[in-house]
Amino acid sequence: MAEIQLRNISKRWGSFVGVNDFNLSIDDKEFLVLLGPSGCGKTTTMRMIAGLEDATEGDILINGARVNDLEPKNRDVAMVFQSYALYPNMNVYENIRFPLRVRGIDPALHKERVMQAAERVELLDFLDRKPAALSGGQRQRVALARAIVRKPKVFLMDEPLSNLDAKLRVSTRAQIKNLSHDLAATTIYVTHDQIEAMTLADRVVVMKSGVVQQVGSPTEIYDTPANTFVASFIGSPAMNLIDGELMNGKFSAPNVEITGLIGRNGKVTLGFRAEDASVVEQCSEMNAPIYTLELLGDATMVSVRIGGQLVAVKADKTFRSDIGDQVSIHIPADHCHLFDAETGLRIQK
């Protein structure tokens, strides 16, 4: 069992603030993803939990006990790094076994524990190989097995898939998800890849410049982003955002007019997802020439320029047209999001 609480955690180096007043409770067995661009503070947060960085302010509790002053080895956490961090002179078996030796686990238990961990990540046929003889995906699986073999309370994973190619990322991501379910351990996972976050997480913490922007399930983050940063960071493609004015329920911008909206009058940013709009023969909501067309296989992505911004809409895979052709785009009012033009915060309906 491992419940983690972060209370008013901050990390500063001189005048630079890496993490600012971070508060969160992480449930036992929860898979939590820290998501954000480079430099947002997500890895620093994880390193403070691990004990690799000291918190400037605040308390870190594991199962109710404050661990700020404990050495990393005494926090019962296992960390998987982006760089694998394997010992090149040891074979796979010894790499996986190493944490057991360091922690003084009874040697009689080593072989059984190593074999169990290797079997979980499908490495039984590679135990005699050195890391140099392994592919990137196999090396990452060794790093996972080395974390598993300890049976820690908490798994910390720092962008473990970043060095893998696209196909390996998909298969290894599925393996991590399955392992998390089988091991029933609390997992904190750091990534800048929103697809990883959406597919792996029970909850996602979106960060920017050391500040938490939103915490919620992948569905909540996707369907009701708290601000324009979250809206523009989550989704592939990201949510379309158009600056304009709302007056008596009607949103107006160049080549855009949408009625039936609920919100206060004034300057706003309107958002909608590509899959929530459609290309139609004629409508008054949005009319513009096609900027580009992309065939995705299951759909055709149609992009137009509105007020200097690209707006993407998913059309049927059979849709055919040419760049420069005028198109009409239907945007249902009940699929629109409104944000404050100055603060970027979501306007509640």
Q: Considering only CA atoms, which of 241, 198, 244, 200 is closest in space to residue 337? A: 241
pLDDT at 58 (0 to 100): 97
Predicted TM-score (pTM) of the model is 0.90
**Mean pLDDT estimate for the chain:** 93
> Above pLDDT 70, what percent of the chain?
100
Domains of the chain: 4-225 (3.40.50.300), 237-340 (2.40.50.140)
Between the alpha carbon of residue 120 and those of residues 161, 226, 328, the distances in Å are 18, 38, 52
pLDDT in tens, 177-192: 888 888 888 999 999 9
pLDDT in tens, 100-158: 998 888 999 999 999 999 998 889 999 999 999 998 888 888 988 998 898 888 999 99
Q: Considering only CA atoms, which of 283, 344, 286, 279 is closest in space to residue 317? A: 279
User: What is the β-pairing status of strands 266-272 and 31-35?
Assistant: unpaired
169 falls in which pLDDT band (50, 70, 90)?
Answer: confident
- The Cβ-side half-sphere exposure at 114, using a 13 Å CA radius, reads 24
